Structure 1
Amino acid sequence: MYRFLWILLLPLPVQAQFFEAFSDGNFTENPPWYGTLAHWTIDTLNGNPRLRTNGRPRPDTLFLTTPSAVSWGLWQLTLSYEQVNLSNFNGVRIYLLADTADLRAPVHGYFLQLGTNNRDEVRLYRQDGNPATRRILLGRSAPVLTAPTQTLTLKVLRTETGHWSVFLNGRLLFEATDATYWRSRYFGLWVKHTAATARSYAFDNLMAAGETERIDLIRPRVTRAFYRQQLRAFVVAFSEPIDTTRIPSNAFYVTASSFAGFPQRIQWTASGQTVHLHYHRVPPSDTYQLSVQGLQDLAGNALRDTVVTLAVTTDTLPPRLLDLYPVDSRRIGLRFNEPVNGCNSTAYSLLEGPAVLQVLDCPAPPRPDFTLLLTAPMIPQTTYVLRVEALTDTVGNPMQPVQRALAFPGDPGPISAGDLIINEVLYAPAQPGLEFVELYNRAPYALDLQKVFWHDARGRAQPLADRAFLIAPGAYAVLAEDTTALRTVFSVAAVLLQPVSWPSLNNDSDAIVLKRGDGLLLDSLWYHAAMGEPGRSLERRDPDLPTLLLANWAVSAAPRGATPGRQNSRYEPDQSPPAVRFVAVRDSLTVTVLVNEMLDPTSVQPAAFELDDGTRPLTATWIPEVRHVRLRFARPLQQQRRLVVHGLRDLKGNRLTATVHPLAYPPAPATLRVNEILYAPLADPYDGRPDQPEYVELINTSSRHLNLEGLFWTDVPNEHGQADTVHLPIRWQALAPGSLAVVFNVPPGRDPQAFMAAAFPNALRHPGTIWIAIPGRGLGLRNDGDLIHLQYGSLTLDSVYYRPSWHQAGIRETTGLALERLLPEGPSNDSANWTSSPHPSGGTPGQPNAARLQDRPSLPERPALEVAPSPFSPDGDGIDDVVTFRYRLPAPSALVRVRIFDSQGRLVRTLGPMHSGAQGMLLWDGRDDAGAALPIGIYVVLLEAMDAPNGRILKSKAPVVLARPLR
């Protein structure tokens, strides 16, 4: 263990200077050293004794201190070290000034440091306690300690002004200035070593010489002068204590246009740094000259003769009553604009009410606030008149008699959660200074707002009022950023409160929290910008519904944008029963029911729910965070399609009568299919035709409603197996059996419905279709073919790898033309089950496919061919550009070909041959086999089908008219 001498217990002298060369071979006396003595020794180098570390071969910290009172002057020593790389683990500190002998304790003083942060520098630090956290770097050298073995001569100078100079081997390293500490008790050496350097540091020729403290040569000066009417005195403050034993009779003189003279009495404060100059007469308001001369500080430095000019404003106005308020039925509070002599109960009288018994907390010095105690209680909901007279302020100005109305709402009751609520907030006013928070008293009795604290999201709570502040039941109180501005703009008649510090409500989002004094939460609102509009307040719809319900807040509809202190323009108490928004099957035993508002938990019972086969759940659990009811059934769901809900109640007690809702099942493979694809929409702003969205149409081919939440598709994976993914942004939507869902892109700034309706005028008219808009320029569908891998979780619902070749061979230009599925139950990747849309708009999103075929058509007796439209005009205007040949055959399958002849009987175009079922469709764009546009005229369409099983050729023909507009 270290042997450390606690010198604080010994009456040791403190030296003003010392020199130590260790020539006596002893370092424990003349001068004495203290610290880790066992790990230091005296050895000789070339016959010269020196102090050397003698630590143990392990990492350690050693130190020695000797008494020294030198606070400015000269410090010098010689330091040697051998095979040491100075760093955080090998370093030296030389304490020039220290207030304690234990250098491991929090020290106040200065030290040089050699070795730190792997830098070869000399540094000067000020230490203000703990060296790890209270160490201030004052100056540093360049890297000068690069050699591992050196002998150095260090010298430090400090002037009486606090200017430091640090020298190494006679060369100035750096300078610094710091005048914080001027008293020292010790000089010290501190070494931190590793196992290898425990004996590698030596010191010699230590010297400290100089002064123990600074000499005061600074003159005192006047720092402040003013007149204090309550003292009837001029007050003069000085920069330092004055020698009050040597004050000349003419030291102070005051003069003005109508006032002059020496003070009648001079009174110094105990510090000797402030003096009160008393005059019997109150000086009138004026500009005064105050002369000060003949004064000295405690060191004898003379103050220069000084003349101070000061403006004096004395009070000649009578006091005014600012505030009058009830504390409870027997106490009344008053607040004046200044301290008054108000302890005389005869100065107050309550007209047509109880007498004033006494003024509480009196007698007392003058003050601005007083509380009156009445002989009997006041009557609730009654307005009284208080008369105040015969009062004076602290300088004797008399108050004129005044009468003021006092409304007493009743004795305040206890405040519980929900009694005082946030009713309206204006956080983004149209002009500065109009922020406010309106509060409403829901309790059946008065409430004292002094007992309520509020804060915003920063959490710095403050009381609503700094005195008793009662509001009646059913009344409003408005916290205002600026009460004057709010009253001017909104003509507020309710109680207005202006907190001392307004927190400035954030426009993007913030919290408003009401708490009782003991921390009980009374009400809170966390709003965000999406809830409101700039310049308009957020109004509560129903005071009896929870604040946290977003649906309970609405933007003010008032002409001025807010209704502070009045009934909200959006006051809409809830009188409607709860409604079921969605019913989803989560798994074979679980169903969740989404409702539109918070429910009374006691109404959520299994008996309130029943499937169409009469099955009721085992449990019904209310989950208020998401407004869900989770139903658990004993047996797996199978063929059930509907859920009957009845008897649910909201928080206001409104009761739901029986309603029936479809069960939305999770999609299973082949229950939801890709039905139509538009991958190359029209997008030319100069073609005179509406731009189209990319879209993918889905069809529910099951007999159940399907839940669309969680659907996504991916395209062709890259070489790393990664694919682009399109997630369908939809929740709480069920797709009915046979109904369609259209996923389409919406360019920035376009309305989704208007964009779709412009491209496909009849699209939005079809009932039951669900429209899923995705913002962006497209859905990522490639024009040269792509994969649409429709998935739900890990399940593949459908997978279509479409190709441009799936379009009709008779169509040359397919831009703006959708691919339509012929049979929803048919194969997804068979080109025979897809064709170009024959619809004039280029597609039928949200409607039955124009090219759709019957699943099981009846066979006709003979071939039938339908041509439409005729005439058609392939001029590129988007109207009747393509003619459709629909056919029906008296055979379940055949090889089909269509040949087209002009009026001269010449063959101009052949479509097919192709394999077909009993029905089909071909398109023609008015071009010949070479792709050239044909002239107007009548053409003959010949349908030929080979019915191989029956060994026959089936034929049918029909005319078609090709027309073009006249130029």
Structure 2
Amino acid sequence: MLLKRIGYCLIFFASLIFSGDLTAQSSDSRKIIVSEAMYSQSSNSTNDEFIELYNPSETESVDFTGWRLAGTQSSPLALADTGNGLCVLAPKSYAVVLPANYFSEPHFRLYESLIPAGATVLKAEKSLSLDNSGDRIIFLNAAGDSVLDITYFPDAEKGYSLEKIDLTAGDDRGNFVQSWKLNGSPGAKNSVPSKAFDLSVSAPSTRAVPPDEQAAISCTVTNAGAKPFGAESVVRLFLDKNQNGEAEANEQISEKPLFFNLEPEAFWETVFFHTPSSATERLIFAVANAEDENSANDSAKTALSVGTARNAVIINEILYAPVQNSTDFIQDQPDFVELYNRSSAAVDLRGWSLSDAADEHGEFDTYFFAEDDAQNTILSPGQYAVVSPDKAENLDSSRLALFFPFVKSLSQAKIFYVTNRATFSYNNDGDEVRLKDELGFTIDSLRYDESWHHPFFNSTAGKSLERLNPDMPSTAKSNWSTCTDRLYGATPGKANSIFTAGATSQKESGLAISPNPFSPNADGHDDFTVIGYTLPSAVNRIRVKIFDVRGRLINTLENSLPVASKGEIIWDGSDKNGKRARMGIYIVLLEALSATNAAVKSYKATVVLAMPLN
């Protein structure tokens, strides 16, 4: 009999347990949490206190009918709807409990603009009476069971609520912090992050960097958590060699430590230096800290776009003063800029541009070319490109082809049109010509003026400025002169009429001069001579003078010019007054001061200035 009674008792208690009637923490306790509490408003009015509840369930709603608030009062406060009959909290939603006087007139409803439309709002029958020094919050369900019991602490300043950091974690003091927003976030997602300790790293998704140079590449580490954090973290930079988007140990190229904590929302920007080795590279930044609670934001990726090498493509010829007359029934001469690929690699000119000098307002004209998607914009090594303003639909009808008919048979030349312009705006008395690649990096530039033309020409209208040697500086006046083509006045798309090959010394140090003899009579043949030098020091300053056989100074070509160990200087056969020197033998004297040991070296060579017999 005793065993039978024991059996009945076990069955009875088991039925209570599985029906949920026995437990003081009913199933409601798993459906509701306190996510925020405003216990000390700036107004010092208890009418503006509130408690926010959150339903974390994915599928189940919570019905607050018959619920009461205890712990803050000697007797529990009944909760009711605000007159709309809504006491049910949907899954993944917030409810706000406000005191009765909050809704009374003429009290200003402080949170009316903050509580989202559709949020559940409950009214307590009296003041919530939340203690500013900390208090206990208890919620009782309709059956009188305690379904929620927490204690809060005075960790928020006046006007700021106490918000829960991780809604899925416990109710200990460390999981609540002061809200980041004045008046809190009633009925909405908390203003504080959902993690206490969380560092994030960010970087631009793309970055244009100059070629063959050490580029400064930055990333930003931000404290995305709710508490000060960051000390003893490490930021690492990886080169994603296998392009799999993962930061792998064998791909790390640098790292930097973070020695201090960042306040919430504070950030730290750090810079890495990296020299790209290919046209496109992918970098990965990663921040690591053993206490970081969120790995989803610990890395950022940057794709590097590397610009074209400086002077890979050069400005080779400029016709800025074309002969144009609308009344003479003669085909107008078009203006143009010729480019030349002096590098050993093909270069895509798509998206490139030319520009002129800025005006007094800092504004300048930009001429984009190579924009036709159907056109092959690849410029091969040793190939020319001609850029001309023209609205013609094809080459045969363009002003360039009508005036320079030979361009139609230049299979190795690229022709590009600036279709929104009838003419360039390069000034006849001098201007700047700047060539930029698609990333905006300057590839070549120069500033010309009228004095760059050969002094033997009475008029240079309709004659282009040509470059003597593509391997010599664009900015050197001595590397430019007037085109000697007598028929067209320019040579777009082919070798310049005054092209002069460089001269290189075969000795360890010394001078080499070519052509020698030369004849500066502006006939386009051997009009200039190139003085090549080789010096023993890597960095020097040189002075180059021309003397006649009697030792008289004829001209000073360079004076204290900083140079490397090898280079070239051009002499156009003129004296110090700009007049052509007489026929004869001349002595070239180059003096070099080494920047390494201050030693002075002198080199001499002879050059013959001749004139052809008529």
Query: Into which bin does the TM-score normalised by the smaller protein fall?
Result: 0.3 to 0.5
TM-score computed with the length of structure 2 as normaliser: 0.37
Identify, as 1 or 2, the structure richer in strand: 1
Bigger CA radius of gyration: 1
